[in-house]
Every structure is written in structure tokens, then in C-alpha cells.
Amino acid sequence: MNQITPKKLKMRWAWLAILPVAIATSQCTLSPPQLSPLAHAQAQEANLRILSVTGQGTETLPTTIAMISLAVEVQGATAKAVQQDMAQRSSDLVSFLETQAIDQLETTGIRLNPRYDYRNNRQLLVGYTATNRVRFEIAVDDAGEILDNAVAAGATRIDNIQFRATDEAIATAQRQALRAATLDAQSQADAVLDTLGLSRQAIVGIQVNNASTPLPPPTTLQSLRAVAESDVATTPVRGGDQDIRANVTLQIRY
């Protein structure tokens, strides 16, 4: 039989004394911190004191690339004759363009449509129209000359010309527009807060809207042959400016 000696009894009393302390410590560790009513009210007020402001930035840069869409259009009595004529002229035009300093040459559409006339409430087939459209990019300074030469190579119509800046110039302008929009948002916030006798404390939120790059409106010429037959030595082509816009929204605690 095990006897409880005074030494063992003393050790048991020591463990019983330590156990409540350990339990209390564990409970204190697991309990979430409680904010005082004043601290809770101050935290709520800080969340409410947020100013949201949107700044705008715009960078204007010159366009240096012309995006040209032109076409070969042929009319005739039969579908076969029209298609063959259009194919030959289109081949001559594309062969010419491939020798020029252009980029992104592509065919954007080929059509063969019947033409009708209406007489005495009757629909009469009078022929066919075939169209082959191509698109390419070229430096603005060379656009006028290539339009004139395209007529001799077989082009009969230009659908439109649009202008844009280079990808590198657009990327640089986008960054500058974002910087300008950020400064504009900060300036607006300072103007409002200064008027109210307040000041910026911290920026707690940032929203960046992608910079937009709208193209200038297209220039349309209905007849290249009329231009080529005029007294103008070279068709004048002038690129416009392109605006790069950006918006930045800041949420500012004051």
C-alpha cells in the first residue's frame, strides 16, 4: 500500500495552487480585447471621416500613324466578269502595297452583290458589284503619296483614314495622365478640407480607372480617282492630336 508522506502531500497542494492560475491565464489569452465606449466611438468616427474625390488627367500628343482603309470596286454585267476584274485589280493593288513601307496590311472584306432596278413595280437584274477592302498603317507624312499611287495601282475608293500615336508614345502619355489625375484629386481634396479648416490625415483607398485613348474622328474621301485627276500634286493628309485621359479616385481620412 502506498503511503502519503508529508513530502507528497506538500507537492499535491502545490499543483492545486498552480492549476487555477493556469486556467485563468488561458482564459485571459483567449478573450478578445474589449474597446472602451470612448475608443469604440472614436473608431466609428474615424471610419465616417472619409472624403472621396476623383481627379482627372489629360495628355495631348500628336498622331504620327495613319490607318487607311481603301477598296477596289468594280461593276459589270455578269458575276464572273466582275469577280475576275476585281480579283485582278485587287492583286495589283496588294502587290504594290507590299512594296511600300507600311504595316498591318490585311484584307477586311470581299463582297459580290447583284444590282437591281425597279421598273413598273418589277425588280430587274441589271448587273453586279464586287468590292475588295484592305487596311494598312503608314506614317502620316507618307500617307498622301501612297493614296495617289494606290489609284494607279487599282484602288477606286477610300473608306476612311484614322490617325493615332505610336504605342510607346501612348504608354508614356497614359502614365503622365495618371500622375496628373492623382495630383488633381489631391488638389481638390485640399481645397475642400482647407475651406472647412480640416487637413488630410491619410489616404485609405485608391481606385485607378484605365486611361482611355480615343482616336480622332476619321477622315472620309469618297473618290480617290477624283483626287488623282485634280491639279493637286499630292493629296494633303494631316494628322490631328490624340487625347489620353485618366481618372483616379482617392479616399482620404481627415
Domain boundaries, the chain: 50-60+170-212+249-253, 65-165+217-238
Place of cell 490617325: 163
Q: Summarize pLDDT for 85-97 with one digit per residue, the tens.
A: 999 999 999 999 9
Task: Give pLDDT, residue 223.
Answer: 45
3-state secondary structure of 60: strand
User: Is the pLDDT higher at 215 or at 141?
Assistant: 141
pTM to 2 decimals?
A: 0.66
Q: Name the CATH topology of 65-165+217-238.
A: Alpha-Beta Plaits (3.30.70)
Q: Summarize pLDDT for 205-244 with one digit per residue, the tens.
A: 999 987 677 766 665 454 444 554 555 567 788 888 999 9
Task: Give pLDDT, residue 60.
Answer: 95
Q: And the C-alpha cell for 194? A: 482647407
Q: How far apart are CA 232 and CA 9, in angstroms?
A: 119
Could you tell me which of 208, 184, 186 has the C-alpha nearest to residue 254?
186
Q: How far apart are CA 254 and CA 252, in angstroms?
A: 6
Confidence of residue 125 (pLDDT cuts 50, 70, 90): very high
Q: And the C-alpha cell for 15? A: 499543483
Task: Give pLDDT, residue 28.
Answer: 44
Please spell the DSSP secondary structure of 187-226, one letter per residue.
HHHHHHHHHTT----EEEEEEEEEEE-PPPPPB--S-HHH
Confidence of residue 8 (pLDDT cuts 50, 70, 90): low
Contact, 114 vs 128, CB < 8 A? yes
Contact, 127 vs 76, CB < 8 A? yes
